[in-house]
Amino acid sequence: MRTAPPPGRNRMRLRLLSVGSLLAFVLLWQLCVAPEGVSDWRIPRIMLSPPSEVAALFVDKLTNPKPDGETLVVHAWVSMQEAFLGYLLALLVGIPLGLAMGWFRTVRGLLRPIFEMIRPIPPVAWIPLTVFWFGIGLGGKVFIIWMSGVVPCVINAYIGVRMANPTYINMSRTYGATDWQVFTRACIPSALPMVFGALQIALVYCWITLVAAELLASDKGIGYLITTGRFLGRTDLVLVGMVSVGLTGALISLIIDRIEARLLAGLRR
């Protein structure tokens, strides 16, 4: 076995590797795209914009509403609002539902079949219906995002309860706890790590679905920006949208990671 380097140096090396790979990727991308008017072995401009242009447009779009009507900040804000609203509703409904399905046989019997039917339907498949129901505004997208977020919430909470350490449950039974007390005092806390897992997974799902939903039905948002880029034949605009989605998603994941680490500190054994 290799001996582990000191932790400080190790972290430094890891960071260097990450930054290095990112830089290498951008560099490769830049090298692979042909400049305007040149046609050689490289990818023509019409198919892919180089990162330099994407970066420039990114900065420009922060304040410039052309050509799609809104600045990048507005698009991102609209998208985030939709995503967070759908996400929060998914947590509020999905987690209690999953917990209840795990603990109460009746709830499980009632909801499991319906849930199993809905689960395999991709959230985007709901788009046509939601357009009929809600139009292309906020409501429809929130609904689709809710759909995609609620599934992992239910599953994780459900599994968390089903896998709750039986010794904790026995232990609380020896205190003379009622079924409800066992559920709230022993079962839910021991299911929490799984539930926190759901927070992360659901958010990623929500974010992915959001962009898909905006691609198909919207007049604002990052997904709309990408579609506009497509209609105008501007790969740089499309890429600005994609990069924004990626960056925001990664940022949100990072924040959730931090919160989770802090909340779970007390749960370590």
Partner 1 sequence: MDRTVVHIECDGVGKSYLQKGRTVPVLEGLSFGVRERELLVVLGPGQSGKTTLLRLMAGLEAPDAGCVRMHGEPVTGPGTDRGLVFQSYMLFPWLTVLGNVEIGLDIQGRRTGATRAQARDKARAYLDMVGLSGFEDYFPHQLSGGMKQRVGIARAYALEPQVMLLDEPFGQLDAQTRLSMEQETERIWRANRKTMVFVTNNIDEAVYLADRIAILEGKLPGRLAAIRDVPLPRPRDPMDVAFLRLREEITAMQKLAL
Chain positions contacting partner 1, by CB under 8 A: 167-168, 170-177, 181, 185-186, 189-190, 192, 266-269
Nearer CB in complex with partner 1: 30/178:
178
The Cα–Cα gap between 144 and 135 comes to 12
Under 8 Å between Cβ of 153 and 144? no
Residue 43: strand pairing partners: 33
122 φ, ψ to 5°? -65, 135
Helix (H) or strand (E) holding 129: helix 127-134
**DSSP assignment, residue 213?**
H
CB of 4: closest distance to partner 1 in angstroms? 23
CB of 193: closest distance to partner 1 in angstroms? 10
Peptide bond into 51 cis (omega under 30): no
CB of 158: closest distance to partner 1 in angstroms? 20
Nearer CB in complex with partner 1: 114/265:
265
Residues 6+ apart with CB under 8 A from 137: none
Nearer CB in complex with partner 1: 107/171:
171
CB of 68: closest distance to partner 1 in angstroms? 49
Nearer CB in complex with partner 1: 154/188:
188
The Cα–Cα gap between 151 and 159 comes to 12
CB of 171: closest distance to partner 1 in angstroms? 5
CB of 174: closest distance to partner 1 in angstroms? 4
Nearer CB in complex with partner 1: 156/227:
156
Under 8 Å between Cβ of 127 and 143? no
Nearer CB in complex with partner 1: 55/177:
177
The Cα–Cα gap between 74 and 118 comes to 33
